[in-house]
Structure 1
């Protein structure tokens, strides 16, 4: 459903959020290790999230990536998905067809439309704080 880049971006944002709640900034190397992503690939993803204002960064000895605490509950998963994958998850065809719509539907169109709408609802209502709190409490995990 999401690209590998998007999966890594969501994991990275959650990891950054939990550290931000603990008043810590994290470096790209630590983020890459935590989300099991290649360092160079992670750096590109972090750059994109930073450019879109989802995460922030500070250079220097005490630098790293962070999210201001007051913003953690405001950042929705939909923002991350849109920043990395665009609107494909919200509009794409279940079979990957370019011209799939109500007038020219693919065999999965009606069923996939329902799933896509549920996914959109979940992404637009789930914020990073919810996910970070689950991780912090040990109820959820980022690593296998």
Structure 2
């Protein structure tokens, strides 16, 4: 459903949100190790998130990636998915039709519209800051 880049982007954002509590920056290598992703691919994903204004980076010896408090308060999964994968998951037809609508529905339109509404609601309601709680309490993981 989500691209691999988007999966890594969400994991990286949750990891950075954990680090934000200690006001710490993280290197690409540290993030990649923590979320179980290739370093080069992680670097590309992080740059997409920086360009979208969802995370920040600082150059230099003590540089790295971070999420500032103001952004973290409002950062939800929908913003990350949109920044990396676009709006396809929330706008496109499940079967790929260009003109799928209530007036011209695909064969699964009426069933999928309810699922799509639930997905949109979940993406909008899932704040990255809140997702860190289960990770910190070891109720969920970022990698296996």
Shorter chain as denominator, the TM-score bin is over 0.9
TM-score (norm 2): 0.93
Mapped partners of 1:99, 1:35: distance in 2: 38
Task: Determine if the alignment matches structure 1 residue 142 to structure 2 residue 142.
Answer: yes
Look up the match of 2:75: 75
Aligned residues: 144
Aligned partner of residue 74 in structure 2, secondary structure: coil
Look up the match of 2:65: 65
Look up the match of 1:101: 101
1:73–1:130 Cα contact (<8 Å) kept: no
Segments of structure 2 that go 5 or more residues without pairing to the other structure are none
Q: CA deviation at 1:97?
A: 2.6
Q: CA deviation at 1:129?
A: 0.7
Look up the match of 1:7: 7
Which 4+ stretches in 1 moved above 4 angstroms? none
Q: CA deviation at 1:4?
A: 1.2
Look up the match of 1:87: 87
TM-score (norm 1): 0.93
Segments of structure 1 that go 5 or more residues without pairing to the other structure are none
Cα RMSD (Å) of the superposition? Answer: 1.2
Aligned partner of residue 73 in structure 1, secondary structure: helix
Q: CA deviation at 1:69?
A: 2.5
